[in-house]
Amino acid sequence: MDYKVHDTAIVDEGASIGAGSRIWHWVHVCGGAKIGERCSFGQNVFVGNRVVIGNNVKIQNNVSVYDDVTLEDDVFCGPSMVFTNVYNPRSAVPRKDQYRPTLVRRGATIGANATIVCDITVDEHAFIAAGAVVNRNVPAFALMVGVPARQIGWMSRYGEQIPLPVDGEGEYRCPYSGDLYRLQDGAMQLAEAGSLTEGG
């Protein structure tokens, strides 16, 4: 076994877990889960059967990743954030055949206590602020805050706000990574990739 599992954790037979991943106290990973390399699962995390998790994903304490959630590489899930997979749940009405998918694209951050309502995509390197409730698709690099979440700006891959308007056009060079960002027709693009290590 080339990953670490704490004595209190439960990993059901059949789960696929990549090299270098770490599974801490009181975590439960179901047998159908597919987890990449170098992931970290904090205390009291639950991972469902129909879950796909990429490489270098960090899931903090008290997060449940339910069926039909996909997390791409380098996603960060803050403490006690919430995923859902049924849009209109009722205890008296079984809806396991009505699960709706959620996709969190590469490099996105979901802050502590945020809620991601199912059937949406959080695009690459988006940043969901703590406590936000996201109920619609989120553009790449978008900074989302509030209930319901609204976009107030843009965030770099490095995790710093990009000083460009939500709409319009312009360019910005990140002083930390050297990335060049281009805002065109209201969409942010990484025009030139630098390094995510501070100082280049």
Cis, bond preceding 79 (omega within 30 deg of 0): no
Pick the closest to residue 4 from 45, 44, 39 (CA basis). Answer: 39
Is residue 92 within 8 Å of residue 106, measured between CB atoms?
Answer: no
Domain of residue 192: give its range: 167-200
Same domain, 88 and 153: yes
Pick the closest to residue 120 from 144, 95, 103 (CA basis). Answer: 103
pTM over 0.85: yes
Same domain, 132 and 189: no
Tens digit of each residue's pLDDT (9 = 90 or more) over 84-143: 999 999 999 999 999 999 999 999 999 999 999 999 999 999 999 999 999 999 999 999
Amino acid at position 137, single letter = N
Same domain, 45 and 136: yes
The whole-angstrom separation of Cα 89 and Cα 162 is 38
Tens digit of each residue's pLDDT (9 = 90 or more) over 168-179: 899 999 999 999
Is residue 99 within 8 Å of residue 118, measured between CB atoms?
Answer: yes
Q: How many independent structural domains does the chain possess?
A: 2
Same domain, 125 and 193: no
